[in-house]
Structure 1
């Protein structure tokens, strides 16, 4: 696709790295609604999401405080998709930049974010005509990026809000059983794509979508925690400070975490401009540490802070995260 779009968000960065995509003039926010049926789940358009429909007046009010991102036009797959030479060049550049930054500050390791096959396959498909075939194609698209990051010695963070977020993009609301079956294919896609990446270099990020909104139709963590743990990763990053999901730390009291797995809960949130007190950060970390042990908990952010809060506030949140981790570590 060349450098036609050149957006840098968690999702759209990949558009420049994939051949077979084309701008078709379709507006991502005005697509026609799609209806699902039992045993036949299909993702509907963005404005037809159940949370957006329930709070339509708020979502359409520019003064409501709801933000859903600035990009409205997305490419469609008009041919077979594949990872491009430009993608390999840009991945190599990202790896080199991270290594330079780490070396400059005396750090030996780090992670790079990368899109999941399931999230990639949510763009419009005008070529394959089959949901599963399109998902399979994205497995082959993303594999080279994962393997390049791991080969450089960095952890691959696979960003995949679709595992949880797709629930809200299905109308009418499906059964949990149908949704789990639908999502299990996306989990399998991840595992096939990381088959050659060491588990200890794989980190998975789960969220319910980072836009500022009510999120009243988010699926509960308890329904998908089994799917989460089916992903072949050592580290699991998820929202735990967002007020819609903070209470779900108790899910881990009822879930057996394999001994080689590490929880990476968000303890500062992208969903508020209020900077969390370090003591609150410490308390959040201690909840998880008491369940799975302090050596299997790493504090993190709920989701990406960029684009949702001012950079000065983001840095303040990160400072609070560091201080809260010190407090928790001393107590534990």
Structure 2
């Protein structure tokens, strides 16, 4: 009998305890694809420009070529248009609107010349620390997003177009799709023009070859800032379909862009691009948690009920 009473105490406390502690979300897309047009853990190889900010933890491999960054950034206040922690192997790095070019060591730049902005040399260890904080947030957000419960569905009933049935009355639309389903359909579109954030979690390990093409309201720069693709387990992604719309969060992937443009930010392991990156950034701030601290009176009432149960047990 005594054990049964103790069990009832534990159960009662377990029912109260979850209400005592408030929970807060750690999601912060502004730390990565909400600020940066490109953020790479490794190397960049490209023959096209990056219209927003870029933070490259690895090397820039563009021997004899020109890297242009920040054409769509404002001139005031000035920002770090391009930051490179590793080596810069390019003929020229050019930024626009007098923004900043940042690198970690004079020995890393070789014969590269810099144009159009203010050059800043910073301690390499400090730059690595800054990058690691941003990168850790990107990895954490990718893991958080993949656990979200889907709020909407998709089908191919409309002329064999993969239709994402978004709902603009929600604060956030969440879809979950496999790479096979995405790649097996020729085109995809939204049910309606997205006016609220959309997260599309894409499962699939290893090498992913994307041949599907966006269409309709999906293929629109104005809508791209509302879309995030979360390739949370891919190791390689080859974009072979031309232009792509929406930011790409793929912290474990080496990405190749064969052609067309990307309207959105990219957070990836490395990038080999023959495509422009357009500065359509995704920023999603979760609403406050519904869990609130339990009033003190409720806690004392629970303890009172436990005490009354104990008195009855003794009688």
Question: TM-score surpassing 0.5?
Answer: no
If you compute each CA radius of gyration, which structure gives the higher value, 1 or 2?
2
Could you say which structure has the higher strand fraction?
2
Specify which structure has the higher proportion of helix. Answer: 1
